[in-house]
Structure 1
Amino acid sequence: MPTRNLITYNTLISSFSKSPQHAISSFKLFRELSWFDLKPNATTFTSLAHASGSIEDPFVGAGVHCRVLASGFYGNVHVKTSVLGMYSDCGDVESADRVFDETEERDSVAWNCMIFSYVRSGNFGNGLRMLNGMMRDGLLPNRFTFSIVLSACGRMGDWVRGRVIHAHVITSEMLVDNSLENALLDMYSSCDDLSSAVSVFESIEKPDLVSWNSLISGFSNSGEGEEAMGAFVRLKSLSQFEEMKPDEYTFVAIFSATAALPYIYYGKPLHAEVCKAGLEGSIFVGNTVVNMYFMNEDPCAALDIFRSIPEKDVVIWTEMIVGYSRLGEGELAIKYFSSMLEEGHKADTFSLCSALSSSADLAALRQGEMLHALVVKTGYEENMCVSGSLIDMYAKSGYLDRAFSLFHRIQNPDLKCWNSMIGGYGNHGDAERAFKLCSQMKRQGLDPDHVTYVSLLSACSHRGLVDRGRFYWFCMMSDGVIPGVKHYTCMVSLLSRTGLLKEAKEMIVNSPFGRKYPELWRILLSSCINFRDLDMGIYAAEQVLCLEPDDSPSHILLSNLYASIGRWDDAAEIRKKIRLLMLEKDPGLSWIDVKGIVNIFSADDESHQQADDCRNELFRLQANLKKWEISEIIINI
């Protein structure tokens, strides 16, 4: 261009300032002004402030602010408002607040900038107070203002204020566009008011994809999976006639909504839709698909999805770790955690908690100690969730002194931390300490949950404390905690072990789990052997075998029951039946961690590479024991 003036430069600077990818070019053009002896004006600085906000760099923005002050344009309302908006976009609330206080003539743009700044930083209360101040100054909120504050109400879960703002929208008689209607829809969905959300959605003349996504997300957040699926089907039917096809956000919302539902009817057909839409390589969608398959206990399918994604982020690695940990595959969870670190990803709180949980379930103390070192190195030791997982790992590994040391350092332990300590003491025989900790927890203002009562009832069962167990059962009912199968298992075990077989039977019969969980009857059957109660034992065995006719442990227990009272013929008959059914009691497993490798052993298993070495070492120990016994006999003679 042969002749360049300030107008042409301002036009280019303004154009580049609107795009984060090209905003840096605005500053290069600004530097050229001095080459042609051109002085920047208010329009120039307004565009430079926008460019700083586009790249969200507060240091560059502070430099622009200084040039504005030096050039004498700070008194210009438009320039000052642009500087305010720049600090707001950069997330520098303190600087934005200072510029706002220095602004005498505040228009709706200035107020919106401050409201947006507070809401973006999570300070929702100040954002709503700014709205009140704006209205007291006589300025009417516009659509952008209402959209911001509705977002704040949704994120706060403040349904009451959200409805008040909705009333302001109605009484203002402004022309409502899709963005404001979507903000209303999202607010009601976030506040779990699905009826109002659906009402808003139905009132939208032409709902766009954002509207559909907000509706499906609302159903998902409220656990209404089938309703979410219905909305998705409606959207799919519309996409045949309109250019509005489900995108990544749609699939993420619908997979989250239906993950816990049978995947043969929901998850797999949706996965097919993802492939048809060409989104099978999307990491965003892949995370939810992996979670869906793990929720339906299909780790093989989850692994296939994981392998098909070319560029994996820490989220999908964490999904694999959490998924395997949830299924009790602790070794695989730790393996994927190690692989994630080897790939260069940094561990976050979710992956660390899952890896620690797997170490706790495996009682792999050495692995847990290494994870503890990583927690300290990454600075997550102050995180409450990670601290609770560390306490749980040490407690389950039997190192209660370490667990208590960590627990003692936490200023305000949450319920997970208290439960880990109570469960640790209870499972290792120190019931009284567990009871004292529960009392201390209540004094701190925390109410026991279902996990707490499982730990307390388990402690009572281990020690045979019937009266204390009945007391905690009564407390659980009084607190409104609905007993699950684990609670009934603890109580049946407690009553059965102490000889209260009839009471244990009545509890199983009156529970909602007696016809679903044979292990309750199996516990009773096992205790009948100790107390030689044939009638009760036969009744318990009938209940188990009615649910699982080929249950080998129950056949073996019934045989042992007959043998305990000397009915050898009946015991032999049961043993014959076991052999005819070709049933075997599942072998127990034992494992040991040697130099980071977990070695697993079971009865009659010769598959281990060092089985011969282990057997030879056992023979050596047996020989040494015999020599010691002979030496003791000689000394005593």
Structure 2
Amino acid sequence: MGVAPVSQEELYGIEQQLRWAGNTGDLAHGRRIHRVILGTGLRYNRFVSNLLIQMYGKCRSIKDATEVFRSIARPDFYSYNIMITTFALNGHLDDANALFLSMPTKDLISWNTGLALYGKLGRPHDVKRMLFFMPQHSVASWTSVVHAYARIGHLDEARRMFDRIPEVNTVAANVMLSAYSQAGSYKQALSLFQSIDQRDVISWSGILMAYTQAGSLRGAKRIFDLMPKRDSAGWNIMVTAYAQNGHMSEAKGLFHSVPELTIVTWTAMIALYSECGNLREASFMFDLMPSRNIISWNAILAAHAQDENFTLLKSTFDSMPERDAVSWTTLIQAYGINAKVFLAENTYRKMPLWDLVSGTALLAVYAENKDPDNARMLFDELPERNLLTWNKMVAAVAASTEPKAISDKMPAYDMATWNTMIEGYGGSGNLADAEALFQSVRHVSDSVMWTTMLQAYATCGDVERAEGTFNDMAARDGVTWIVMLAAYGTNARLAEAVRTFEAMPKRNALAWNTIMSACITHGLVDRAAEIFAAMPEPNLASWAALFGAFAHEGNTNFVIEFYREMNLAGEKPDENVFLSILAAFSHAGMIDESLKHFEFLSDHGLAAIKEHYCCIVDVLSRAGQLKEAEKLIETMPFIPDQSALGALLCACKTQSDIERGSRAARLAIDLEPESSCAPLVGIVNIYSENPLS
């Protein structure tokens, strides 16, 4: 079968289509173009194959990129370099390193690619050694070393290497400027910015970022007004600065002033509304988008995940025209954060292709849910590991063994490693080692590490030293304030919690939920309701917390009224909200309402959990409908627990139903032989009250 010839114009068109697919992340379109190529003589064209590798890499399809690379009869330098970069950008750092080492010969670009790779691996000293081993250098080579030290927070060493560059160009200066900017060191950033002879739009965006990171909105506005040319990055930085400082109306106004709205700008606004807890506006922005790509879909998916609305999260995931590793990983992370470990595992197993990112995400789920055994099994199964994977493994074993036992085996460290170890020591009550590690790296610490140490004190109940750390901090972000707020709230210091909340420079939904939870913990449910009423944008977690508080108090009337308000507000309840509703109805003995709302679960796209079934068993038992209660226990898709069987057993005692009570007691003993005392006492009580039986 022959192949169709291709003209130069057609080749140019294919090149542009592949670049467009890669830049927009449109994997489906890229595959369509690939199928066209396979029907032409270009299927063996090395230039086109290199473009395909690049496109698949940008679309995060490692399998497709690898297959194309292997199909090239004689890969050139560019083929190797782009494949190494593709591996590195998608987190397959070990594969990238193996391919780099296997190259028969290396050009300068190959060496520079290797430098960037080891920088991503968090191995700046190896980058430095490679630099001096290289047969020749370029400014890009030196810049890779600067970037390697900057990415792990070693700004002093990064600056020393920067000062050794024979001829600094704008690109190198921008890398150092970006390092200062991300660290919030705006004075050093400004000094470097002023020394750059030929500033480009990246230089201006870098100094703009420095002011926003330092919290100087006025300074950022002044820089923004001075910018000779603004790209989408500059507009996005300024919009973000307004939003993060609580000026959403100004952020929205600036967004509508952007001369050319791109998908990136739209997606940035979705992310900003999500960070502020305003899911309604995030969804509205998403619906308004003239076109969407996989990144936009992932942004709204992340918004639903942050709002902990699993119904919308799953329906959005199911509605996506295509999914990448980020989509699957977002779902895994959302389930993990909310202790839905089985769903996280199930999602991971359903993935069409496992990668390092998704594997690390599931490892993080095990770490967050204190499951070191499964974490170890998964860690040993992973074909490759990067620095983040090692850090998650350290976090997973932190509560059961010394995190140092794992960290000692690590090929490299970064700030996250130290933060994880401090968090692990704090979580296991080992403040002495947490403090020792903090003091040993304090000279390179950032606000995240200070906040981690603050959290360690709070976790161990040492509020005084947490307070001292908070007061010593040179800069505090929103997370720091919330950690201190939670420390007061969980340690019976409500007055200090209220003062901290009132002193916060800006408050997001998490801050409001934290002070509300503090009031609930102290039994001040009415005060919590007042806080809820004052919240600018309550999220699902806010509703669920107050539902739970009033259900616990047995305030059925409020739960019913609150449920009506929730429906009017357009907020969809989740499993926890329904559990509070069913518990309230059960407490009040309202059997019809309980059964009706149990049926409502499926109407909201929710699957009943074991606790829902137990509530219905309880209400049926209270109403004397013992046959129906027993039937539900027998047919429920879960192993019944002692609460359900206990409710039935108590009702059998009241109704003198010895036969059914005996079956319930035997089942309870069979399921938990070590906890057989309570069921035995229950059945003895039934017989003692019915001696003729």
Q: 1:496 Cα shift?
A: 1.1
1-structure distance, mates of 2:376, 2:356: 5
**Pairing 1:473-622 to 2, within 5 Å after superposition:** 473-514=598-639, 517-550=641-674, 551-566=676-691
State which of 553, 558, 572 in structure 2 corresponds to 1:433. Answer: 558
Inter-partner Cα distance in structure 2 for 1:427 and 1:508: 24
Q: Contact conserved, 1:216 with 1:253, CA < 8 A, in 2? A: no
Does the aligned pair in 2 maintain the 1:460–1:466 contact within 8 Å? yes
CA distance in 1, matches of 2:435, 2:526: 42
**CA 1:378–1:507 in structure 2 vs 1: closer, same or farther (change >3 Å)?**
same
Cα gap change, 1:306 to 1:543, in 2 (>3 Å)? farther
Residue 328 of structure 2 aligns with which residue? 192
In structure 1, what is the Cα distance between the partners aligned to 2:386 and 2:171?
36
For 2:508, which of 383, 389, 404 is the aligned residue?
Answer: 383
Q: How many residues are matched?
A: 432
| In structure 1, distance between residues paired with 2:538 and 2:651 | 39
2:123 aligned residue = none
Query: Is the Cα contact below 8 Å between 1:283 and 1:316 reproduced in 2?
Result: no
Equivalent residue, structure 2, for 1:610: none
Q: Deviations over 1:68-116 (max 9, x none)?
A: 9xxxx9xxxx35768635534535664565455x45xxxxxx8597489
Partner Cα distance (1:341, 1:250) in 2 = 32
How far residue 427 of structure 1 moved from its aligned partner, in angstroms, is 2.5
Q: Cα distance 1:248–1:188, how it changes in 2: closer, same or farther (>3 A)?
A: same
> Is 1:251 aligned to 2:373, yes or no?
no
Say whether 1:84 aligns with 2:201: no
Do 1:289 and 1:302's aligned partners in 2 also have CA atoms closer than 8 Å?
no
Structure 2 counterparts to residues 162-311 of structure 1, below 5 A: 188-192=324-328, 215-221=355-361, 248-254=387-393, 259=396, 272-277=405-410, 284-285=416-417, 287-288=419-420, 306=434, 309-311=437-439
Measure the CA separation in 1 of the matches of 2:578 and 2:568.
17
**What's the C-alpha RMSD, in Å, of the aligned pairs?**
5.7
Letter in 2 for 1:418: W
Q: What is aligned with 2:293?
A: 161
Residues 1:335 and 2:493 aligned together: no
Task: Check 1:215–1:510 CA distance in 2 against 1; reply closer, same or farther (3 A cut).
Answer: same
Shift of residue 461, structure 1, vs aligned partner? 1.2
Given the superposition, is the C-alpha separation of residues 433 and 153 from structure 1 closer, same or farther in structure 2, using an over 3 Å criterion? Answer: closer
Q: Distance in 1 between matches of 2:430 and 2:189?
A: 46
Task: Quickly say closer, same or farther: Cα 1:288–1:471, change in 2 above 3 A.
Answer: farther
CA separation of 1:50/1:554 partners in 2, compared to 1, >3 Å: closer, same or farther?
A: closer
Residue 444 of structure 1 and its aligned partner are, at CA, apart by 0.8
How big is the shift at 1:288? Answer: 4.1
- Which one of the candidate residues 542, 545, 553 is aligned to 1:417? 542
Give 1:436 deviation, angstroms: 0.9
Structure 1: give runs of 5+ residues left out of the alignment: 1-13, 26-42, 104-109, 135-145, 165-186, 195-213, 237-245, 323-332, 360-365, 571-637
Name the SS of the counterpart of 2:408 in structure 1.
helix
Contact preservation (8 Å) 1:392, 1:403: yes
2:530 is equivalent to residue 405 of structure 1: yes
User: TM-score when scaled to structure 1?
Assistant: 0.53
Asked whether the equivalents of residues 52 and 86 of structure 1 are also in contact (C-alpha less than 8 Å), the reply is: yes
TM-score, normalised on structure 2?
0.49
CA contact (8 A) 2:489 2:497 kept: no
Q: Distance in 2 between matches of 1:229 and 1:155?
A: 35
* Counterpart code for 2:559: A
Three-state SS of the structure 2 residue aligned to 1:375 is helix
- State the partner residue of 2:578: 453
Could you tell me whether the CA contact under 8 Å between 2:585 and 2:594 is conserved in 1? Answer: yes
Kindly tell me: are residues 63 and 465 of structure 1, through their superposed partners in 2, closer, same or farther at Cα, counting changes over 3 Å? same
Change (3 A) 1:470 1:353: farther
Query: Which structure ranks higher in relative contact order (CA pairs < 8 Å, sequence separation ≥ 6)?
Result: 2
Greater C-alpha radius of gyration: 1
| Mapped partners of 1:502, 1:479: distance in 2 | 28
Distance 1:131 1:555, change over 3 A: farther
* Cα distance, 1:537 vs structure 2: 0.9
Instruction: Indicate the SS of the match to 1:192.
Output: helix
Task: Assess if the C-alpha contact under 8 Å between 2:205 and 2:233 holds in 1.
Answer: yes
CA contact (8 A) 2:394 2:407 kept: no
> Over residues 403-454 of structure 1, what are the superposed CA-to-partner deviations in whole Å (9 max), with x where a residue is unaligned?
2222222233222222233233333232122111111111111001111111
Output one character per residue of 1:226-270: Cα deviation in whole Å (capped at 9) or x when no partner.
89977876666xxxxxxxxx66434125557xx4xxx79x99799
TM-aligned CA distance change 1:538 to 1:443, over 3 Å: same
Between the aligned partners of 2:435 and 2:193, the Cα distance in structure 1 is: 49
**Distance 1:343-1:193 versus aligned 2 partners, 3 A rule:** closer
- Aligned partners of 2:626, 2:240: CA distance in 1, in Å? 61
> What amino acid is the match of 2:293?
R
Cα separation, 2, equivalents of 1:541 and 1:283: 55
Contact 2:425 2:433 in 1 (8 A): no
Matches within 5 A, 1:97-116: 97-100=224-227, 102=228, 114=234
Contact in 2 for aligned 1:45/1:64 (Cα 8 Å) = no
Instruction: Provide the C-alpha distance between the structure 2 equivalents of 1:334 and 1:82, rounded to a whole number of angstroms.
Output: 44
After superposition, the Cα gap between the structure-2 partners of 1:461 and 1:321, relative to the gap in structure 1 and judged at 3 Å, is farther
Distance 1:290 1:484 in 2: 36
Q: Distance in 2 between matches of 1:513 and 1:320?
A: 37
Q: 1:394, 1:402 within 8 Å by CA — same for their partners in 2?
A: yes
Q: Deviations over 1:106-162 (max 9, x none)?
A: xxxx859748957996999999x999799xxxxxxxxxxx9x99x989989999535
> Aligned ranges for residues 60-75 of structure 1 at < 5 Å?
none
Q: Is the 1:282–1:309 contact (alpha carbons within 8 Å) kept by the matching residues of 2? A: no
Q: Given residue 84 of structure 1, which amino acid in structure 2 is its aligned partner? A: W
Alignment correspondent of 1:609? none
8 Å contact kept, 1:291–1:302: no
* Kept after mapping to 1: 8 A contact 2:170/2:199: yes
Cα distance in 2, alignment partners of residues 506 and 48 from structure 1: 73
- Give the CA deviation at 1:402: 1.6
Aligned equivalents of 2:429, 2:158: Cα separation in 1: 44
SS in 2 for 1:348: helix
Report deviation, 1:276.
2.5
Give the residue type in structure 1 aligned to 2:531.
Answer: L
Aligned partner (choices 491, 494, 519) of residue 368 of structure 1: 494
Q: Which residue of 1 aligns with 2:106?
A: none
Give the Cα separation in 2 of the matches to 1:222 and 1:153: 28
Aligned AA for 1:540?
A
Give the 3 Å change call, closer, same or farther, for CA 308–532 of structure 1 in structure 2: farther
Aligned pair in 2 of structure 1 residues 121, 464: CA closer, same or farther (>3 Å)? same
Task: Give, in whole Å, the separation in 2 of the partners of 1:192 and 1:354.
Answer: 31
CA distance in 2, matches of 1:53, 1:188: 29
Measured in 1, the distance between the counterparts of 2:495 and 2:567 equals 31
Shift of 1:520: 1.8
Distance change >3 Å, CA 302–CA 564, structure 1 → 2: farther
Q: CA 1:339/1:502 → structure 2, altered by over 3 Å: closer, same or farther?
A: farther
Deviation at 1:370, TM superposition (A): 4.0
Secondary structure, counterpart of 1:525 in structure 2 = helix
